[in-house]
C-alpha cells in the first residue's frame, strides 16, 4: 500500500471517528434536553429498542467486534462460513460482510421499520423455501479467482447454516431458485405458427406455455477478488465505492478486515430451458443469451434499440436448443442503460434526437452526458457461468465484443457467435446497430465506414409520422 493512500485512509478514519463522536454527543444532548415524553421519539429516531445509540461505523479493534468466520473460496461451506451482513443489535459485532441483505431493497426495509410495519428484529421463516433443483457444486466454487461477485453457496444457506439460524442468527440466502411457466407473446406466436413444436417438456401447451427453472442472484462481492478482476488496488476500490455512494458504507474504509460487500445494486436472474444438470457437461450443446436490462424496450417495447427483440431471439434459440436435447440459458442482468441508469439514458436520447441522430455520433452523445459510453463492467459477468459449471458455449446470441471477450478471458469457450436476424431489428435502432458494429461489435455482414455512419440517421422529433 502506498504511503499516500495510507495517509488518505488514516485521515478519513480520523474524520469518521470525529463525526461519530460528534453525532453521539449530539444524540446524548438531545436526550438530555428533551422532556421524558420526547425521549421515546429520540429513541425511535435512532431506531433501536435496546440502545439509544446507533453506531455510524465500526473499527477492527473495537471492543466486542468479532466477525464470524468467512474464508472466501473454501470448498467446504461449513469452513467457508455464512455471509452475515445483518446489523441487528445481536449481530452487529459478528458481521463479516459490509452492506445489507437485499441490495437496493434494504432501503425499503428501512422505510418499513421506520413506519413500524416491520419489526426491527424480524427473522424470516424459511420453511418450504428450498430450491426445487440441485445445482451441483463445481470446482469453480472454490476457486477464488473464478467467483468474486456472488456467493456460490447463496442458495444453500438454510441447509448449511441451519444450526446458526436456529440459534437465532439472522443469516439469509443471497440466491433463490424456483420453477415456473412463462408466457411470452412472440414465443407464443412461434408456437402457434408451428415454428416451435409443443413437446410437452419445454413447450407444455398449444398456447405456448414454457417450462423454466430460474434463479435470482443478489451480488456478494469479495473485494480483493473484484479489485483483481478490474485490475485496480483493493484500497482504491474501497475508497471510490465509499465516496461514490455518498459515504453510505463507512466500513469500506474503516474495516479493511471485512473483505466482502453486498452492494446496493440489482442482481441477475438465470433462466434455464431444458435439463439444468447438463449445463456443466461439455458434450451437451448450449445456447446462451447474456442480456443487460433495458426497461424501455424489454417491457415497454421501444423501437429505438434492439433489446427486446434480441432477448426474445435468445429465448427462441434457447428453447429450440433444449428441444434438441441441449440447454438454453438466458442470464438477465439489472444493468439498466449500460449501467448508467434510465435518467442518463433519456438525457442521451434527447441529445441524440435534437443533435441529429446519426450512427457516427451515437457513442459520443452518451459520453457527453455520462463521461463514458458504458459502465457494465462485463469482467464480473462470467461468475454466474462458473457457478453453473459452464465451460463452453455452442451458440452465443450476442454481437457484443465486451461480453464475448469477458467470457473468453474467463476461460469459457464460445464456438459460434450469432447476431440478431435483420428482420427482427426495429427501423429506428439501425443507428445503434451500425454504431456498435463500427465500434467492434460482432457481425457476419458488412462493417460500415465513416461516411455510411453519417448517413445512418434515426427518426427525428419533427418527423410527421411521430
Ligand atoms: Zn435497449
pLDDT attached to residue 444: 86
Burial of 142 (0-12, 13-18, 19+ CB in 10 A): middle
Residue 143 annotated among the catalytic residues of the structure:
no
Distance (angstroms) between ligand 1 centre and the Cα of 313 equals: 14
Q: What is the arithmetic mean of pLDDT over 150-170?
A: 96
CA of 305 from ligand 1 middle (Å) equals 5
pLDDT at 40 over 50: no
Give me ligand 1 centre to Cα 458, in Å: 15
Residues in the chain: 466
Quote the pLDDT of residue 382. Answer: 98
Residues 43-57 have pLDDT tens digits of 444 444 444 466 778
- What phi and psi values does residue 272 have, to the nearest 5 degrees? -120, 120
Q: How many A from CA of 127 to the centre of ligand 1?
A: 39
Taking only the tens place, the pLDDT of each residue in 303-354 is 999 999 999 999 999 999 999 999 999 999 999 999 999 999 999 999 998 8
Mean pLDDT, the chain, whole residue set: 90
Mean pLDDT value of segment 401-407? 97
On the question of pLDDT at 422 being above 80, the answer is yes
Ligand 1 centroid to Cα of residue 431, in Å, is: 12
Lowest mean pLDDT among 68-72, 174-178, 218-222, 349-353: 349-353
With a cut of 70, say whether residue 26 has pLDDT above it.
no
Annotated catalytic residue, options 218, 374, 383, 394: 374
Q: Could you tell me the distance, in angstroms and rounded to a whole number, from the CA of residue 204 to the centre of ligand 1?
A: 30
Annotated catalytic residue 69: no
pLDDT confidence bin for 59, thresholds 50/70/90: confident
> Strand, coil or helix: what is 416?
strand
Q: What is the largest CA-CA distance in the chain?
A: 77
Cα 139 to averaged position of ligand 1 atoms, centre (Å): 36
Handedness of CA 148, 149, 151, 155 (dihedral sign): negative
pTM for the predicted model, two decimal places: 0.88
Contacts of 351 by beta carbon, 8 Å cutoff, 6+ apart? 365, 368, 369
Give me the pLDDT at residue 32, please. 45
Q: Which pairing describes strands 286-292 and 392-396: parallel, antiparallel, or unpaired?
A: parallel
Q: Which of 308, 376, 395, 417 is catalytic?
A: 376
Q: How confident is the model at residue 13 (pLDDT cuts 50, 70, 90)?
A: low
- The pLDDT of 238-250, averaged and rounded, is 97
Contacts of 101 (CB under 8 A, 6+ apart): 85, 86, 172, 174, 218, 262
Cell numbers given for 154:
447463496
Q: Looking at residue 227, what is its pLDDT?
A: 98
The set of cell numbers assigned to 437 is: 458494429
The predicted structure's pLDDT at residue 60: 87
Residues, CB within 5 angstroms of ligand 1 (ion): 294, 297, 305, 307
Terminal CA-CA length for the chain: 57
% of the chain with per-residue pLDDT over 70: 88
Amino acid at each position: 500500500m502506498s504511503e499516500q493512500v495510507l495517509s488518505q485512509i488514516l485521515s478519513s478514519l480520523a474524520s469518521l471517528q470525529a463525526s461519530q463522536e460528534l453525532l453521539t454527543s449530539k444524540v446524548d444532548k438531545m436526550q438530555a434536553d428533551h422532556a421524558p415524553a420526547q425521549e421515546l421519539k429520540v429513541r425511535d429516531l435512532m431506531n433501536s429498542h435496546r440502545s439509544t445509540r446507533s453506531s455510524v461505523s465500526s473499527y477492527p479493534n473495537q471492543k466486542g467486534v468479532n466477525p464470524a468466520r468467512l474464508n472466501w473460496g473454501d470448498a467446504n461451506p461449513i469452513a467457508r462460513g455464512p455471509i452475515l451482513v445483518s446489523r441487528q443489535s445481536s449481530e452487529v459485532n459478528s458481521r463479516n460482510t459490509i452492506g445489507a441483505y437485499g441490495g437496493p431493497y434494504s432501503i425499503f426495509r428501512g422505510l418499513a421499520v421506520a413506519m413500524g410495519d416491520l419489526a426491527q428484529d424480524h427473522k424470516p421463516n424459511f420453511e418450504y423455501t428450498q430450491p426445487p433443483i440441485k445445482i451441483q457444486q463445481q470446482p469453480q466454487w472454490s476457486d477464488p479467482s473464478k467467483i468474486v461477485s456472488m456467493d456460490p453457496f447463496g442458495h444453500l444457506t438454510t441447509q448449511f447454516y441451519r444450526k446458526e439460524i436456529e440459534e437465532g442468527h439472522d443469516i439469509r440466502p443471497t440466491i433463490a431458485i424456483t420453477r415456473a411457466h412463462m408466457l411470452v407473446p412472440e414465443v407464443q406466436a412461434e408456437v402457434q405458427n408451428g415454428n416451435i413444436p409443443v413437446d410437452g417438456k419445454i413447450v407444455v401447451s398449444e398456447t405456448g406455455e414454457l417450462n423454466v427453472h430460474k434463479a435470482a442472484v443478489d451480488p456478494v462481492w469479495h473485494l480483493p477478488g473484484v479489485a483483481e478482476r478490474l485490475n485496480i488496488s483493493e484500497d482504491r476500490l474501497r475508497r471510490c465505492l465509499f465516496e461514490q455512494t455518498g459515504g453510505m458504507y463507512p466500513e469500506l474504509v474503516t474495516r479493511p478486515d471485512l473483505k466482502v460487500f453486498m452492494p446496493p445494486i440489482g442482481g441477475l436472474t438465470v433462466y434455464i430451458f431444458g435439463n439444468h444438470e447438463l449445463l456443466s457437461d461439455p458434450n451437451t450443446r448450449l445456447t446462451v443469451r447474456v442480456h443487460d436490462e433495458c426497461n424501455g424496450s424489454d417491457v415497454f417495447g421501444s423501437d429505438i434499440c434492439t433489446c427486446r427483440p434480441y432477448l426474445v431471439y435468445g429465448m427462441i434459440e434457447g428453447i429450440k436448443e433444449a428441444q434438441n436435447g441441449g440447454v438454453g440459458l438466458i442470464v438477465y442482468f439489472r444493468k439498466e442503460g449500460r449501467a448508467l441508469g434510465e435518467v442518463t439514458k433519456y438525457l442521451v436520447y434527447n441529445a441524440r434526437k435534437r443533435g441529429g441522430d446519426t450512427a457516427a455520433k451515437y457513442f459520443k452523445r452518451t459520453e457527453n452526458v455520462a463521461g463514458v459510453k458504458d459502465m457494465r463492467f462485463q469482467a464480473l459477468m462470467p461468475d454466474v457461468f462458473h457457478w453453473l459449471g459452464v465451460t463452453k458455449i455452442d451458440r452465443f446470441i450476442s454481437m457484443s465484443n465486451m461480453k464475448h471477450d469477458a467470457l473468453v478471458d474467463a476461460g469459457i469457450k464460445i464456438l459460434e457467435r450469432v447476431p440478431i436476424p435483420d428482420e427482427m431489428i426495429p427501423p429506428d435502432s439501425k443507428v445503434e446497430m451500425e454504431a456498435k458494429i463500427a465500434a467492434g461489435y460482432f457481425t457476419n455482414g458488412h462493417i460500415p465506414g465513416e461516411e455510411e455512419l453519417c448517413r445512418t440517421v434515426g427518426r427525428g422529433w419533427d418527423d410527421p409520422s411521430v
